[in-house]
């Protein structure tokens, strides 16, 4: 690689990060000033629009597997493999929801503060009592008709091989009597090949991951919505195993031969009350 292309990549990355920083500040103002007086439906719309614009700022394209339709149910549990911190915004751009996150996220600059005010459900590792409270909180959200996202691997993986799914949090879906919809996530480069730019694994820092994303050329977040799994007449262990098989199978087959960009109508098809498409 010559000096000029490398300089171009770095300048483009700095521009993307500057746009992202401004977008984060704008998001904080929305959370502080607009969120408190908004209805649940409007909060979902704001969350979705903001997430779509964040992906744009970072130069990330949202794509879905061929044949994938919008997530129609405005409630229920979504479970996905976990590759990156970016996964949250990718899913929110498709189907805005409440997320279960590790307690460490509270400490992240600005994002942690925003997360505590946007329906994030935090779980404290290593505390059985805290885990029980989290499950009860999840059941309450689900019974109230809200959509909740869980990453049952419990950590991040590289998107090539899915780690075992833990069933503890999936018990909440069984208790609430709602279906579980698996999502398969991966990231590709400009050629369509698997990309490691968004991988947030091992000793990779948040800053290093963010820089890699900003430097990436043609990074795409590919997502496939898989058939919903009923939670009647099953237990959490079997439910977790079924969801894991579905996601692993989808990723093994690379989502589809040619993922297509997600139409705006499908991006917001899951929103309640017929909310209009969020502008890009």
Q: What is the pLDDT of residues 102-150, one digit of tens each?
A: 888 888 888 889 999 998 998 877 677 878 888 899 999 999 999 999 9
- Does residue 273 sit within a domain? no
User: Is 177 within the bounds of a domain?
Assistant: yes
Predicted TM-score of the model (pTM): 0.86
Element (H or E) spanning 150, and its range? strand 147-150
Q: Residue 80 — φ and ψ, nearest 5°?
A: -145, 155
Identify the CATH number of the domain in which residue 205 sits: 3.40.1010.10
Give the tokens for residue 221: 């977040």
Residue 270 falls within a domain, yes or no?
Answer: no
Within a domain: residue 58?
A: yes
279 found inside a domain: no
Please check whether residue 278 lies inside any domain of the structure. no
pLDDT at 276 over 90: no
Residue 277 lies in a domain: no
Q: What tens digit of pLDDT does each residue of 57-109 get? A: 999 999 976 545 556 567 899 999 999 999 999 999 999 999 998 888 888 88
Q: Which domain holds residue 75?
A: 3-265
Which residues, other chains included, contact 119 with Cβ-Cβ below 8 Å and sequence gap of 6+?
Answer: 43, 98, 99, 141, 146
Number of domains in the chain: 1
DSSP state of 264: H
pLDDT at 254: 63
| Within a domain: 194 | yes
CA distance 93 to 221: 11
Dist. CA 10–CA 260, nearest whole Å? 28
Of 62-71, 134-143, 236-245, 255-264, the least confident: 255-264
């Amino acid at each position: 690689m010559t000096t000029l292309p490398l300089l171009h990549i770095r300048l483009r990355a700095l521009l993307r990060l500057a746009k992202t920083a401004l977008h984060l500040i704008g998001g904080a103002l929305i959370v502080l000033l607009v969120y408190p007086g908004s209805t649940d439906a409007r909060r979902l719309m704001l969350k979705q629009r903001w997430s779509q614009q964040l992906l744009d700022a970072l130069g990330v394209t949202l794509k879905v597997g061929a044949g994938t339709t919008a997530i129609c149910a405005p409630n229920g549990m979504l479970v996905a493999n976990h590759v990156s911190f970016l996964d949250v915004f990718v899913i929110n751009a498709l189907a805005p929801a409440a997320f279960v996150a590790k307690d460490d996220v509270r400490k992240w600059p600005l994002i942690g503060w925003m997360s505590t005010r946007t329906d994030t459900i935090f779980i404290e590792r290593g505390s059985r009592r805290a885990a029980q409270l989290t499950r009860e909180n999840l059941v309450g959200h689900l019974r109230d008709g809200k959509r909740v996202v869980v990453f049952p691997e419990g950590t991040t993986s590289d998107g090539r091989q899915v780690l075992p799914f833990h069933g503890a949090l999936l018990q909440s879906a069984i208790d609430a009597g709602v279906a579980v919809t698996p999502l398969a996530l991966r990231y590709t480069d400009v050629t369509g090949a698997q990309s490691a730019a968004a991988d947030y694994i091992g000793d990779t820092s948040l800053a290093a991951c963010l820089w890699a994303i900003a430097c990436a050329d043609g990074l795409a977040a590919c997502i496939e919505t898989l058939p919903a799994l009923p939670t009647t007449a099953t237990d959490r262990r079997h439910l977790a195993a079924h969801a894991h098989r579905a996601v692993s199978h989808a990723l093994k087959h690379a989502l589809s031969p040619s993922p297509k960009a997600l139409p705006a109508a499908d991006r917001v098809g899951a929103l309640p009350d017929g909310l209009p498409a969020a502008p890009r």
